[in-house]
């Protein structure tokens, strides 16, 4: 089954919820994993089941990176706030590096996330 990680900085969580709602039918057929707060918000606001890792500040992004290294993830959507990210929020550099090493797509904007999800949809047809 296709497995996708969902991560969002605090200011991007509403955008993540909007994206998930727009792709809810597709995502319902995927195995979803997320950092603690993002995963909880997605479950609470959409009803989709999300395997929750630690919050980003506690290492959830590192746990997701480990799944990339173990070839357990097909893609990551990490909606980040490049201008006002807080020190407690997950850093993208380690995830970007591990995704590049393992050729796993990492979307950081709504538009790139839509392209990745549309591509995954084609792969599941």
pLDDT in tens, the chain (125 residues): 999 999 998 899 999 999 999 999 999 999 999 999 999 999 999 999 999 999 888 899 999 999 999 999 999 999 988 877 566 656 688 899 999 999 999 999 999 999 999 999 998 77
- Supply the pLDDT for residue 125: 72
Residue 85: the pLDDT is: 58
User: Which of the residues are catalytic?
Assistant: 61
Residue 83: predicted pLDDT: 79
Do 39 and 52 form a contact (C-beta atoms < 8 A)?
Answer: yes
Contact assessment for residue 49 and residue 43, using Cβ atoms and an 8 Å cutoff: yes
88 appears as a binding residue in the annotation:
yes
CATH number for the domain whose boundaries are 3-124: 3.40.50.1380
* Residue 91: count of CB within 10 angstroms of its CB: 13
38 marked as binding residue: yes
Instruction: Give the count of beta carbons closer than 10 Å to the beta carbon of residue 30.
Output: 20
Global pTM reads 0.93
C-alpha 52/C-alpha 32 separation (Å) is 9
| Residue 91, pLDDT score | 66
* Residue 46 annotated in ligand binding: no
Domain ranges of the chain: 3-124
Cα–Cα distance measured from residue 11 to residue 26, given in angstroms and rounded to the nearest whole number? 24
């Amino acid at each position: 089954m296709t497995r996708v990680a969902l991560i969002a900085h605090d200011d991007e969580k509403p955008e993540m919820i909007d994206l998930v709602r727009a792709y809810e039918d597709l995502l319902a057929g995927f195995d979803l994993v997320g950092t603690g707060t993002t995963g909880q918000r997605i479950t609470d606001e959409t009803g989709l089941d999300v395997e929750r890792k630690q919050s980003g500040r506690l290492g959830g992004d590192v746990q997701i990176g480990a799944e990339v290294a173990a070839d357990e993830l097909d893609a990551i959507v990490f909606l980040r706030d490049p201008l006002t990210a807080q020190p407690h929020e997950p850093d993208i550099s380690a995830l970007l590096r591990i995704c590049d090493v393992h050729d796993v797509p990492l979307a950081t904007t709504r538009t790139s996330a839509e392209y990745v999800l549309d591509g995954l949809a084609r792969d599941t047809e």
